[in-house]
Amino acid sequence: MTHILRVDASIKGDASVSRGLTAKIVEKLQAAAPGATVTARDLSPGVPQIDGAWLGAVFADPATLDADQQAIRAQADAYLDEVRAADVLVIGLPVYNFSVPAQLKAWLDQLARRGETFVYTEAGPEGLLKGKRAIVAMSSDGVAMGSEADFASGYLRHMLGFFGITDVEFVVADQMAFGAEAGLARAEAALAKLAA
């Protein structure tokens, strides 16, 4: 049975274009696989930044952790477990100031755990989350995907690949400030071509 992890990061709530697109993508996937299950993770309230306390909690022997460290590790493990359990990740990528939202970056930082999502080998880094598919719903007001000012899509694709997730597709509503209807039409066309 297919399991979908829907990740939203937009702070715009119901007015969010990326949220609208992630909803449509999940709907299409569920229509093709009626038994599919979905876990929704909303990052907009914020994701803890990694820091020294996080390092101490995540990489220490679990038996040595105090209550605060146990709570930090439990949150980090929850993010990781959701990704591990997913066959398909549907990720909302609203472009903020030419890049990924801070909360989405913090989520990726939480996932970047040596020995859990990647390892270093003699041949270089190797991702450990192989065999998953990611569909990214990207929205932006002014940035065109793939342009010199797009520091979001390439970064997210790279991080997913670093974790071993190389089957990555984009549904994009970009440059909405220059024509919202045209931007949405491009996204709808990509959605129509998306294999479920």
**Domain contains 79:** no
Q: How many domains does the chain have?
A: 1
Q: Is 7 among the annotated ligand-binding positions?
A: no
- Tokens linked to 191: 């959605």
**Domain contains 56:** no
- 185: domain CATH number is 3.40.50.360
Report helix, strand or coil for 47: coil
**Domain contains 8:** yes
Report helix, strand or coil for 38: strand
pTM: 0.96
Q: Is 10 among the annotated ligand-binding positions?
A: yes
**Domain contains 78:** no
Q: Is 39's pLDDT higher than 90? A: yes
Query: In sequence order, which ranges of 59-167 are alpha helices (DSSP H)?
Result: 67-85, 102-111, 153-162
- For residue range 98-125, list pLDDT tens digits in order: 999 999 999 999 999 999 999 999 999 9
Residues with Cβ within 8 Å of 99's Cβ and at least 6 positions away in sequence, in order, are 105, 151, 152, 155
Percent of the chain past pLDDT 70, that is, above it, reads 100
* Residue 78 CB neighbour total at 10 angstroms: 11
Q: Is 47's pLDDT higher than 90? A: yes
Q: Model confidence at 195, in pLDDT bands (50, 70, 90)?
A: confident
**Domain contains 27:** yes
In which domain, by residue range, is 113 found? Answer: 3-48+86-193
Q: What is the pLDDT of residue 1?
A: 84
**Domain contains 147:** yes
Q: What is the pLDDT of residue 130?
A: 98
- For residue range 11-30, list pLDDT tens digits in order: 999 999 999 999 999 999 99
**Domain contains 62:** no
**Domain contains 165:** yes
**d(C-alpha 186, C-alpha 189), whole Å:** 5
How far from chain centre, in Å, is Cα 49? 16
Mean local confidence (pLDDT), 73-92:
98
- For residue range 125-180, list pLDDT tens digits in order: 999 999 999 999 999 999 999 999 999 999 999 999 999 999 999 999 999 999 99
